[in-house]
């Protein structure tokens, strides 16, 4: 009697007996099939429902620096923006509790998500004039430059 080893699509190994009368998969195959095929919606879900680190665009003009952060689904009251020793920190913490009652059972789900992004500001930023707004999922922070740090327009110098 010989043993065949098949490699199925899911990458697991299944041992089968080549005897035609016993063509059943081994016990471990049944368990693998149950978890991989029997409960696909349960085990293929992304259980990490927290906020991932948001993407940031930073732009510099002659007048200011602009920080744009994509954070849809939040409210402006969810954000905390701090400035400490020329470090700008943008953070949020959210705690969510959902309860669903149906007949004889209750399902409660708790969620907690947070992020914090920090940026070292150049000395050319006028810290007293920093402003922020949140509109349609985008947090915008304007970091104006000090007057002496602003780019002056090019000019021609006459030779005397």
Report domain extents, the chain.
3-43, 56-149
Predicted pLDDT of residue 137: 92
Does domain 56-149 fall under CATH 2.60.40.790? My reply is yes
Full DSSP string of the chain: --EEEE--TTS--EEEE--TT--PPPHHHHHHHIIIIISHHHHSS----SPPPPPEEEEE-SSEEEEEEE-TT--GGGEEEEEETTEEEEEEEEEEEEEEEETTEEEEEEEEEEEEEEEEPPTTB-GGG-EEEEETTEEEEEEEBPGGGSPPPP------
pLDDT for position 73: 85
- Mean per-residue pLDDT, 97-122: 82
Query: Is residue 118 pLDDT above 50, yes or no?
Result: yes
- What gap in Å lies between CA 58 and CA 66, rounded to an integer? 6
The torsion angle over the Cα atoms of residues 83, 85, 86 and 91, rounded to 10 degrees, is -30
**pTM of structure:** 0.58
Measured CA to CA, the distance from residue 113 to residue 90 in angstroms comes to 14
39-84 pLDDT, tens digit per residue, is: 444 444 444 445 578 899 999 998 999 999 999 888 889 999 999 9
What's the pLDDT band for 153 if we cut at 50, 70, 90?
confident
Which tens digit of pLDDT belongs to each residue from 9-49?
444 444 444 455 555 555 555 555 555 554 444 444 444 44
Mean pLDDT comparison of 76-90, 99-113, 139-153, highest-scoring range: 76-90
**3 vs 15: CA distance, rounded Å:** 7
């Amino acid at each position: 009697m010989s043993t065949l080893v098949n490699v199925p699509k899911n990458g697991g190994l299944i041992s089968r007996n080549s005897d035609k009368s016993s063509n059943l998969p081994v016990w471990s195959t049944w368990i693998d099939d149950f978890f991989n095929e029997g409960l696909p919606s349960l085990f293929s879900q992304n259980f990490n429902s927290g906020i991932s680190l948001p993407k940031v665009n930073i732009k510099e003009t002659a007048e200011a620096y602009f920080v744009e952060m994509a954070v849809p689904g939040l409210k402006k009251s969810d954000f905390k923006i701090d400035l400490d020793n020329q470090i700008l920190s943008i953070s949020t913490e959210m705690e969510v509790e959902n309860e669903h009652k149906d007949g004889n059972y209750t399902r409660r789900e708790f969620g907690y998500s947070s992020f914090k992004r920090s940026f070292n500001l150049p000395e050319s930023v006028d810290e007293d004039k920093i402003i922020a707004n949140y509109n349609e999922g985008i947090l915008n922070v304007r970091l104006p430059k000090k007057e002496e740090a602003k780019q002056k327009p090019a000019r021609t110098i006459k030779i005397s």
